[in-house]
Each structure stands twice: as C-alpha cells, then as structure tokens.
A = this chain, B = another copy of it.
C-alpha cells in the first residue's frame, strides 16, 4: 500500500496521482451503505444545491458514521499521505461531494490552499486531498480536471467567488488558468468506483457539471501536517476539524471488518 519511488516522483512532477481501483468492490459497497446512512441524516454539516436542494456535500463524516471513522485511518490513505508529507497528519476535513445526475453544478478552477490559508490561517500548502470514487467516474458525469504541474509555481492568483455556484470559492484567474493549462495540459480524473486520487494543496483543478443521467459521488479526505495546523477557527468545525491528534493506520481490512464487527 506504500507508494513506489516512481509514484512519489510522479506526484512531485504532476501534482497528483490517480490510483485505479485502490478500493475493492466490496469496500465500495460498505462505503456506499454508509453514504446512504449519512445522507438520510439532516445535518448542518450538509451543503445543498442552489437549485434542487439536493445534498451536494456532506461533511464531518467521521463524527457521523463508524465506517467513515475507519476510512480516515485507512492504511491506503494514511501510509501514502505520511510518505508524501513526511510526518504526522490530522484530519482537516472529510466529506462526500455528490454531483447528482442532471443537477450537479460545476466547480470553477481553484486550488484548496487558497481557502485553507485565507479562511483557516494554514501557513503552508502542505495538506493532501485523498479521494475515493463511490461511483464510476467517466468523462460524462463531472470528473475532476487537473492542470498537470500547476502546483509547481506555488499558489496561483485567485479571487473570492461567491456568485457562480452554491459554495463560495477562491477562483483562479482566467489568464493564469490559460497559462498553466497551455504549459501542463488538462487531465480528466476518471476511473471505476474504488479508484483513489491524491493531490496537493496548490494543484489547480475544477470540474464540469453533471448533466448525464448518472450520479457521481466522491469521498474526499484532507489530511494536513500537525506542524502546519490552522491558526484561525472562523469556519465551522466540520469545515476544518480542531482535533490535532495524528491519524494512525488501522488494519488493511478495517472496512470489511465493519460487516462482522
């Protein structure tokens, strides 16, 4: 489950890794059942679509379901993250982003550090974003688009967009997007359910709306080095958790153990 030297080098160059079918069909089934449970809750840690009112993002999941409490400590997340960060990490944010069939909105070009820095006072762009696809993600149902290598020149110029979508976002300037995309190209992060992604805090990414007839749910965990913790607590706790206890890895079968546990 550890990353190879080649993968670490690729992460350094591209700013992301796509790890096809890192979680099994059985594990995805466990995660999807847990998703159904948390979506049935009516939580202030949910964000809904402007239009339909459907849940777009459900947050704080490790505090809402045992399966997600285990997933944040899954060795297939914790070990690669520790390799890349070189030390202890805490759970900064944990959520599921859904793009509902026909409804799911686009996400403008952005990088996560803009928010982490401006809103939470995170000093350096060292956080890692770890995803697991809970549906097959194709070119049609709103995949993430990465701008390859866009992390290399550091945080890009951005402005705070509170208008375009349901979620205020620090959006990268168009001129910068054009330059970065010409230089590195765009990569569409697609793959079957169970595929994992890892990307860094300065990687510029966005995603188109989902106007296909197929839902697209992705689990997302942000781990941040303990020595790079938040310095402000303006945002609600589910957007940046306060507990700096380092995550430690459970056993590799921790998700399937829920079924027998």
Q: Is the CB of A181 within 8 A of B213?
A: yes
Instruction: Write the chain B residue with the least CB distance to A176.
Output: B213
The one of B177, B208, B212 that contacts A213, using a Cβ cutoff of 8 Å: B177
The segment out of A81-89, A102-110, A115-123 that lies at the interface is: A102-110
The one of B109, B139, B211 that contacts A211, using a Cβ cutoff of 8 Å: B109
Residue-wise interface mask of A (159-187) relative to B, using a CB-CB cutoff of 8 A (1 in contact, 0 not): 00000000000000010011001100010
Assuming the A-B contacts A140-B186, A140-B188, are A101 and B211 also in contact, with contact meaning beta carbons closer than 8 angstroms in the complex?
no
A209 at the interface (CB under 8 A from B): yes
Instruction: Give chain B residues whose Cβ lies under 8 Å from the Cβ of A206.
Output: 211
Q: How far is the CA of A204 from the CA of B162 in the complex (A)?
A: 34
Seed contacts A101-B174, A182-B213; 14 additional CB < 8 Å A-B pairs: A101-B178, A102-B174, A102-B177, A106-B209, A108-B211, A109-B211, A139-B139, A139-B188, A140-B186, A181-B212, A181-B214, A186-B212, A206-B211, A208-B209
User: Which of A101, A102, A140, A182 has its CB near the most chain B CB atoms (within 10 A)?
Assistant: A140
A145 at the interface (CB under 8 A from B): yes
Instruction: Give chain B residues whose Cβ lies under 8 Å from the Cβ of A102.
Output: 174, 177
Instruction: Write the chain B residue with the least CB distance to A206.
Output: B211
Instruction: Give chain B residues whose Cβ lies under 8 Å from the Cβ of A177.
Output: 102, 213
Number of copies: 2
User: Which positions 89-146 of chain A face chain B at CB distance < 8 Å?
Assistant: 101-102, 106, 108-109, 139-140, 145
Interface residues on A, range: 20 to 34
Q: How far is the CA of A174 from the CA of B102 in the complex (A)?
A: 8
User: Which positions 58-75 of chain A face chain B at CB distance < 8 Å?
Assistant: none
Q: How far is the CA of A140 from the CA of B144 in the complex (A)?
A: 11
Q: How far is the CA of A186 from the CA of B101 in the complex (A)?
A: 14
Q: How far is the CA of A99 from the CA of B182 in the complex (A)?
A: 18
Q: How far is the CB of A201 from chain B (nearest CB, A)?
A: 22
Instruction: Give chain B residues whose Cβ lies under 8 Å from the Cβ of A188.
Output: 139-140
Q: How far is the CB of A171 from chain B (nearest CB, A)?
A: 11
Residue-wise interface mask of A (178-202) relative to B, using a CB-CB cutoff of 8 A (1 in contact, 0 not): 1001100010100000000000000
Q: Is the CB of A213 within 8 A of B178?
A: yes
Instruction: Give chain B residues whose Cβ lies under 8 Å from the Cβ of A140.
Output: 145, 186, 188
Q: How far is the CA of A101 from the CA of B186 in the complex (A)?
A: 14
Instruction: Give chain B residues whose Cβ lies under 8 Å from the Cβ of A212.
Output: 145, 181, 186
Q: How far is the CA of A206 from the CA of B211 in the complex (A)?
A: 9
Top 10 closest pairs, chain A to chain B, by CB: A178-B213, A139-B139, A208-B208, A181-B213, A140-B186, A177-B213, A102-B174, A139-B188, A106-B211, A208-B211
